[in-house]
């Protein structure tokens, strides 16, 4: 029996509520399969931990996580702790220190999922965002000079390394080739005259190795417009850290909402564990009410199973999500239902075969 060691970081707000349901589903898949099982270890890191200990995780937190097969995270950030501390010291720290440089975020309108766009066929919304996840606008480089004076100046640098751009762009080309899909690069070279001009240059250079892949390039402002007006243009999409962040919330909005949007933070070399999470945050407005939609986290659990080589179970989970949407089984209020988080998770687990 293969036992996978999974670190759980439920985190803040609705994080623990949705992680519990994803764990239920993972255990159910393992039980039905019979050839593998999970050993979960929960870490209570997050904003409450910060208020008690003055840090988001212990000093040796990264060392502790290193030995797991994967990490499942709920959400981080809560009123009472500044977001730039809570997120940079936990979530972004893990992505960075484990070199999880690929953030895979599917934007797919499942059958039965609500979509606010008119005149769009369900099949037209089927993209996969490859977001750079280790540097760029999130590099954390900058300065705050003369604070609280008239001379105050803040500088936030974007860091775009050749290695960083090449590897994410290559990953996207490989995926497009493998899946026989088009690849769209999103940038902003008309205004960001260093970083994005460089990004576009690397996109062209790497593309020489993939003459078989049909490519498109779009400026990020036009890309946002086309995602709403003509989403079928997009198949595999590659974007920088910040552009990918923003566009995948837009992607969530057109494919069922935040309660259905998942992401995998991958270290493709598998030197370090990869981390799986919903793309939504801690949702303080609904935390503790038992109505958070767990399906995004369950979708992330499906990505986790794919990553561990159990694509059959990954697919079964995604199919079960689709069945629930189509047949309106135990959906939470964000999807027009009246189910609780737990009822939704239990319904999904019982649909698995």
Interface residue list for ligand NAD (CB under 6 A): 14, 18, 75-77, 83, 87, 91, 258-259, 277, 280-286, 292-293, 296, 334
Q: From the list ligand NAD, ligand IPM, Mn ion, none, which binds 10 (C-beta under 5 to 8 Å, kind-based)?
A: none
245 binds ligand IPM (CB under 6 A): yes
| Among 86-94, 118-126, 225-233, 337-345, the segment contacting ligand IPM (CB under 6 A) | 86-94
**Residue closer to Mn ion, measured from CB, 277 or 343:** 277
Region of 80-88, 117-125, 237-245, 329-337 interacting with Mn ion (CB under 5 A): 237-245
Q: How far apart are CA 26 and CA 31, in angstroms?
A: 9
For ligand NAD, the closer CB: 74 or 314? 74
Which does residue 285 bind out of ligand NAD, Mn ion, ligand IPM, none, counting CB within 5 to 8 angstroms by kind? Answer: ligand NAD
- Token pair for 85: 């501390």
Nearest distance in Å: CB 281, ligand IPM: 6
Nearer to ligand IPM, 69 or 100 (CB): 100
Using CB under 6 A, pick the residue from 20, 87, 192, 347 that binds ligand IPM. Answer: 87
Place of tokens 């801690």: 282
Of residues 134 and 195, the one with the C-beta less far from ligand IPM: 134
Secondary structure, 3-state, the chain: CEEEEEEEEEECCCHHHHHHHHHHHHHHHHHHHCCEEEEEEECCCCHHHHHHHCCCCCCCHHHHHCCCCEEEEEECCCCCCCHHHHHHHHHHHHHHHCCCCEEEEEEECCCCCCCCCCCCCHHHCEEEEEEECCCEEEEEEEEEECCCCCCCEEEEEEECCHHHHHHHHHHHHHHHHHHCCCEEEEECCCCCCCHHHHHHHHHHHHHCCCCCCCEEEEEHHHHHHHHHHCHHHCCEEEECHHHHHHHHHHHHHHCCCHHHCEEEEECCCCCCCEEEEECCCCCCCCCCCCCCCCHHHHHHHHHHHHHCCCHHHHHHHHHHHHHHHHCCCCCCHHHCCCCCHHHHHHHHHHHCC
Angstrom distance (rounded) from CA 176 to CA 210: 10
Q: CB under 5 to 8 A by kind: which of ligand IPM, Mn ion, ligand NAD, none does 296 bind? A: ligand NAD
- Looking at the chain, how many residues does it have? 353
CB-nearer residue toward ligand IPM: 17 or 245: 245
In the complex with ligand IPM, the residue whose CB is nearer, 15 or 337, is 15
In the bound complex, what is the minimum distance in angstroms from residue 130's beta carbon to ligand NAD? 18
Q: Do 128 and 107 form a contact (C-beta atoms < 8 A)?
A: yes
**Nearer CB in complex with ligand IPM: 154/246:** 246
Asked whether position 137 contacts ligand IPM by CB under 6 A, the answer is: no
With contacts defined by CB under 6 A, name the span among 20-28, 87-95, 221-229, 325-333 that binds ligand IPM.
87-95
Of Mn ion, ligand IPM, ligand NAD, none, which one sits near residue 152, judging by CB under 5 to 8 A according to partner kind?
none
Q: Which of 245, 277, 334, 343 binds Mn ion (CB under 5 A)?
A: 245
Within 264-283, the residues that bind ligand IPM by CB under 6 A are: 279, 281
| Contact footprint for Mn ion (CB under 5 A) | 245
| Contact footprint for ligand IPM (CB under 6 A) | 87, 91-92, 245, 279, 281
């Amino acid at each position: 029996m293969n036992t996978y060691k999974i670190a759980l970081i439920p985190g803040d707000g609705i994080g623990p509520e949705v992680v519990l349901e994803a764990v239920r589903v993972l255990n159910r898949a393992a039980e039905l399969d019979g050839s593998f099982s999970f050993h979960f270890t929960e870490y209570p890191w997050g904003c409450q931990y910060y208020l008690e200990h003055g840090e988001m995780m212990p000093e040796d937190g990264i060392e502790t996580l290193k030995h797991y097969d994967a990490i499942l995270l709920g959400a981080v950030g809560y009123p009472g702790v500044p977001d730039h501390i809570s997120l940079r010291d936990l979530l972004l720290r893990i992505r960075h220190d484990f070199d999880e440089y690929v953030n895979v975020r599917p934007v797919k309108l499942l059958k039965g999922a609500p979509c606010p766009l008119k005149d769009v066929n369900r099949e037209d919304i089927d993209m996969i965002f490859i977001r750079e996840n280790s540097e760029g606008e999130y590099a954390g480089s900058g300065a705050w000079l003369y604070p609280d004076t008239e001379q105050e100046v803040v500088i936030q640098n974007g860091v775009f390394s050749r290695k960083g751009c090449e590897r994410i762009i290559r990953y996207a080309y490989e995926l497009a080739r493998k899946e026989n899909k088009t690849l769209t690069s999103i940038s902003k070279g008309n205004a960001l005259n260093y970083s994005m001009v460089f990004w576009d240059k690397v996109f062209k250079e790497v593309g020489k190795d993939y003459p078989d892949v049909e490519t498109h390039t779009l400026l990020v402002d036009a890309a946002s417009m086309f995602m709403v007006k003509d989403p079928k243009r997009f198949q595999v999409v590659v974007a920088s850290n910040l552009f990918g962040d923003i566009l995948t919330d837009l992607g969530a909005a057109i494919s069922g909402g935040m309660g259905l949007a998942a992401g995998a933070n991958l270290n493709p070399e598998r030197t370090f564990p990869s981390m799986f999470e919903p793309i939504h945050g801690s949702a303080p407005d609904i935390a503790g009410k038992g109505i958070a939609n767990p399906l995004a986290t369950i979708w992330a659990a499906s990505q986790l199973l794919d990553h561990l080589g159990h694509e059959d179970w990954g697919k079964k989970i995604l199919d079960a999500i689709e069945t629930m949407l189509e047949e309106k089984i135990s959906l939470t209020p964000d999807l027009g239902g009246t189910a609780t988080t737990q009822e939704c998770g239990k319904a999904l687990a019982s649909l698995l075969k």
